């Protein structure tokens, strides 16, 4: 089956980009990414990069993008480290927090003055996260904190993703940690701070300063990127360079399908703009502008 492809016929005011599977896979920039970003800069459009992955700080993400040839300003990159820390400090200042998480999130929480503790009696908020150092002791601590019903410990998560795609397959992500805690405690995770949730998407729009209806969300995952566009009422483009393939899109109800389906990222620009720039099919594949 050939891939369905329908490009936007307009240039949007704001662009909300996913990273993994959309701009790059592993350490490889995907074809057309760099020249698309350069073109959007020339056109004066606002852009933001959004990742659900809490295992890097935004500085680390910007450094990676710089290494791959894309310069991104500080306000143009947001991930669940930012939204999680912002939520905890705004909603539960002074709370005891236990995070099943890796160092980038733990460090950011510490830097923000959050009181981290592994004493179940002191824990007010349990944060489930993408944690490749997860062990039984951490599960036990979270379980005991959540199990003490009288304590009303909050159960939140950085992001809902079941797994994180990697060039060789994938790694269990925060969704699997959420599931483990839900299974043993009988509790339900109350809130997460990633796409497509309201916390993340509110933070994205606040930074982008463009009304949602003038934005295009571009990503490779139906359950997060497409759902994020629906959550805020923005247009959606699914790019077939990551998780989603044509068959996956075909299984969606007509009303749920994205407005646009792209074979590569630079197809975000309309055909008229390709013509104006002298871009041709098949060129720009070296991913440099
Ligand atoms: Mg992705």
Ligand 1 centroid to Cα of residue 172, in Å, is: 15
Say if residues 92 and 154 touch (Cβ distance below 8 Å): yes
What are 56's two structure tokens? 């890097």
d(CA 118, CA 130): 18
pLDDT of residue 222: 94
Listing DSSP states for 247-271 in one string gives HHHHTS-GGGS-SEEESSGGGGS-H
Q: Decide if pLDDT at 288 tops 50.
A: no
d(CA 62, CA 172): 24
Q: What pTM was computed for the model? A: 0.93
Ligand 1 centroid to Cα of residue 23, in Å, is: 8
Ligand 1 centroid to Cα of residue 113, in Å, is: 31
pLDDT of residue 94: 95
pLDDT of residue 285: 54
Residue 185's nearest CA partner among 157, 149, 213 is 149
* Homologous superfamily in CATH for domain 82-192: HAD superfamily/HAD-like (3.40.50.1000)
> What count of other Cβ atoms lies within 10 Å of the Cβ of residue 107?
13
* 22-39 pLDDT per residue, tens: 999 889 999 999 999 999
Domain 14-52+195-277 has CATH 3.40.50.12280: no
- Counting residues of the chain whose pLDDT is more than 90, the rounded percentage is 88
Q: Where in the chain is the domain with CATH 3.40.50.1000?
A: 14-52+195-277, 82-192
Q: What number is the average pLDDT over the span 117-142?
A: 97
Mean pLDDT score across all residues of the chain: 93
3-state SS, 139-206, equals HHHHHHHHHCHHHCCEEEECCCCCEEEECCEEEECHHHHHHHHHHHHCCCCCEECCCCCHHHHHHHHH
Ligand 1 centroid to Cα of residue 261, in Å, is: 15
Ligand 1 centroid to Cα of residue 24, in Å, is: 9
Position 2 confidence tier, pLDDT thresholds 50, 70, 90: very low
Say if residues 270 and 9 touch (Cβ distance below 8 Å): yes
* 103-128 pLDDT per residue, tens: 999 999 999 999 999 999 999 999 99
d(CA 285, CA 26): 17
**CB-count burial class (<10 Å; 0-12, 13-18, 19+) for 151:** middle
């Amino acid at each position: 089956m050939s891939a369905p492809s329908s490009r936007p016929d307009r240039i949007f005011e704001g662009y909300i980009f996913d990273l993994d599977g959309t701009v790059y896979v592993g350490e490889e920039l995907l074809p057309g990414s760099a020249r698309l970003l350069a073109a959007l800069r020339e056109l004066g459009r606002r852009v933001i990069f959004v990742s659900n992955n809490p295992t890097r700080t935004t500085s680390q993400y910007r450094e990676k993008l710089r290494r791959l040839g894309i310069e991104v300003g500080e306000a143009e990159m947001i991930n669940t480290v930012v939204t999680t820390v912002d939520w905890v400090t705004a909603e539960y200042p002074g709370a005891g927090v236990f995070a099943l998480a890796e160092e980038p999130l733990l460090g950011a929480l510490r830097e923000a003055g959050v009181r981290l503790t592994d004493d179940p009696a002191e824990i007010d908020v349990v944060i489930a996260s993408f944690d490749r150092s997860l062990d039984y002791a951490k599960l036990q601590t979270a379980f005991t904190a959540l199990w003490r019903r009288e304590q009303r410990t909050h159960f939140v998560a950085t992001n809902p993703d079941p797994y994180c795609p990697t060039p060789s397959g994938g790694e269990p992500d925060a969704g699997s940690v959420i599931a483990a805690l839900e299974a043993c405690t009988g509790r339900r995770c109350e809130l997460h701070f990633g796409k497509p949730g309201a916390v993340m998407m509110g933070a994205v729009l606040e930074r982008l300063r463009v009304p949602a209806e003038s934005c295009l969300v571009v990503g490779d995952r139906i359950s997060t990127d497409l759902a994020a566009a629906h959550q805020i009422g923005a247009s959606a483009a699914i790019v077939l360079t990551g998780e989603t393939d044509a068959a996956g899109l075909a299984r969606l109800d007509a009303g749920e399908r994205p407005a646009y389906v792209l074979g590569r990222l630079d197809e975000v620009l309309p055909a008229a703009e390709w013509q104006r720039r002298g871009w041709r099919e098949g060129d720009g594949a070296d991913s440099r502008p």
